[in-house]
Structure 1
Amino acid sequence: MLIVGRIINGLSVGIESAQVPVYIAEISPPSKRGRFIGFQQWAITWGILIMYYISYGCAQIGKNEWNDHTTANWRVPWALQMIPAIFLFFMMMPLPESPRWLARKDRWEECHGVLTLVHGQGDPNHPFVSYELQDIKDMCEFERRHADVTYLDLFKPRMFNRTIIGLFTQIWSQLCGMNVMMYYITYIFEMAGYTGNANLLASSIQYIINVLMTVPALLWADRWGRRKTMLIGSTLMGIWMFMNAGLLATHAEIIPRSERKQDVLSMKVSGAPAKALIAGTYLFVASFAPTWGPASWTYPPELFPLRLRSKGVALSTSGNWAFNTALGLFTPPAFANIAWKAYIVFAVFNVAAFVHVFFGFPETAGKTLEETEAMFEDPKGIPYIGTPAWKTHPVTGAMRKAEHGDIEAAAAKTAAIEKPHTPPVEEHEVSPNKQ
Structure 2
Amino acid sequence: MNFSKRTNYICFAVALGGLLFGFDTAVISGAISFVKTQFSLDTVAEGWLVSSGLLGSIIGVFTTGIISDRIGRKKTIIIAAVMFLLSGFGCGFASSFTLLVAARMIGGIGVGMASVISPMYISEFAPADKRGRMVAYYQLAITFGILLAYFSNAAILSASGNSGSELLAEPWRGMFMVMCIPSILFLFLLIKVPESPRWLVEVNRQADAQNILYTVRPKPAADKELSDIENARARTKTASVSLLHPSVRIPLIIGIVLAVLQQFSGINAIIYYGPNIFQSAGFDSSNALMFQVIIGTVNFLSTIIAIAYADKYGRKFLLKTGLTGIIISLILCGALFYTNNTQGILLLVLMMIYIICFAFSIGPVTWIIINEIFPTHVRVKAVTVCTMALWIAVWLVGQFFPWLLEKVGPAFTFWAFAVFSLINLIFSLTIVKETKGKTLEEMDTAFVAPH
TM-score (norm 1): 0.76
Q: Distance in 2 between matches of 1:199 and 1:178?
A: 17
Shift of 1:155: 3.5
Amino acid at match of 1:245: G
TM-score (norm 2): 0.74
Asked whether the equivalents of residues 335 and 342 of structure 1 are also in contact (C-alpha less than 8 Å), the reply is yes
Residues 375-386 of structure 1 mapped to structure 2, 5 A cutoff: 375-377=446-448, 383=450
Q: Distance in 1 between matches of 2:193 and 2:277?
A: 43
Asked whether the equivalents of residues 326 and 421 of structure 2 are also in contact (C-alpha less than 8 Å), the reply is yes
- Against the structure 1 CA distance between its residues 191 and 63, is the aligned structure 2 distance closer, same or farther, given a 3 Å change threshold? farther
Larger mean Cα displacement after TM superposition, 190-199 or 46-55 = 190-199
Q: Distance in 2 between matches of 1:37 and 1:69?
A: 36
- Against the structure 1 CA distance between its residues 69 and 46, is the aligned structure 2 distance closer, same or farther, given a 3 Å change threshold? closer
SS at match of 2:426: helix
Residues 84-233 of structure 1 mapped to structure 2, 5 A cutoff: 84-120=182-218, 124=219, 126=220, 128-145=221-238, 153-233=242-322
Q: Distance in 1 between matches of 2:328 and 2:223?
A: 47
Q: Looking at both structures, which has the greater relative contact order when contacts are Cα pairs under 8 Å and sequence separation is at least 6?
A: 1
> Residue 50 of structure 1 is aligned with which of 132, 148, 152?
148
- Against the structure 1 CA distance between its residues 104 and 218, is the aligned structure 2 distance closer, same or farther, given a 3 Å change threshold? same
Stretches of structure 1 that go unaligned for 5 or more consecutive residues are: 253-268, 385-435
Identity fraction in percent: 30
Amino acid at match of 1:27: F
Amino acid at match of 1:291: S
Partner deviation per Cα, 1:200-243 (whole Å, 9 max, x = no partner): 12221111111111112111111111111112111110100000
The higher radius of gyration belongs to 1
Asked whether the equivalents of residues 275 and 289 of structure 2 are also in contact (C-alpha less than 8 Å), the reply is yes
> Residue 81 of structure 1 is aligned with which of 165, 168, 179?
179
Shift of 1:327: 0.5
* Equivalent residue, structure 2, for 1:398: none
Q: Distance in 1 between matches of 2:168 and 2:141?
A: 31
Shift of 1:73: 2.1
Amino acid at match of 1:283: I
Stretches of structure 2 that go unaligned for 5 or more consecutive residues are: 1-98
Partner deviation per Cα, 1:321-377 (whole Å, 9 max, x = no partner): 111111111111111111111011000001000111111111111000111112123
Partner deviation per Cα, 1:160-201 (whole Å, 9 max, x = no partner): 221111112211111111111101110111123322332212
Amino acid at match of 1:16: A
Q: Distance in 2 between matches of 1:63 and 1:200?
A: 20
Larger mean Cα displacement after TM superposition, 35-44 or 106-115 = 106-115
* Equivalent residue, structure 2, for 1:281: 351
Structure 1 or 2: larger helix share?
2
* Equivalent residue, structure 2, for 1:310: 380
Q: Distance in 2 between matches of 1:154 and 1:195?
A: 51
Q: Aligned-pair RMSD on alpha carbons?
A: 2.0
Asked whether the equivalents of residues 176 and 234 of structure 1 are also in contact (C-alpha less than 8 Å), the reply is no
Partner deviation per Cα, 1:243-272 (whole Å, 9 max, x = no partner): 0111111125xxxxxxxxxxxxxxxx42x3
* Equivalent residue, structure 1, for 2:364: 294
* Equivalent residue, structure 1, for 2:336: 247
Q: Distance in 2 between matches of 1:56 and 1:321?
A: 28
Matched, 1:352 2:413: no
Shift of 1:52: 0.6
Q: Distance in 1 between matches of 2:181 and 2:298?
A: 25
Shift of 1:139: 0.8
- Against the structure 1 CA distance between its residues 133 and 62, is the aligned structure 2 distance closer, same or farther, given a 3 Å change threshold? closer
Asked whether the equivalents of residues 232 and 444 of structure 2 are also in contact (C-alpha less than 8 Å), the reply is no
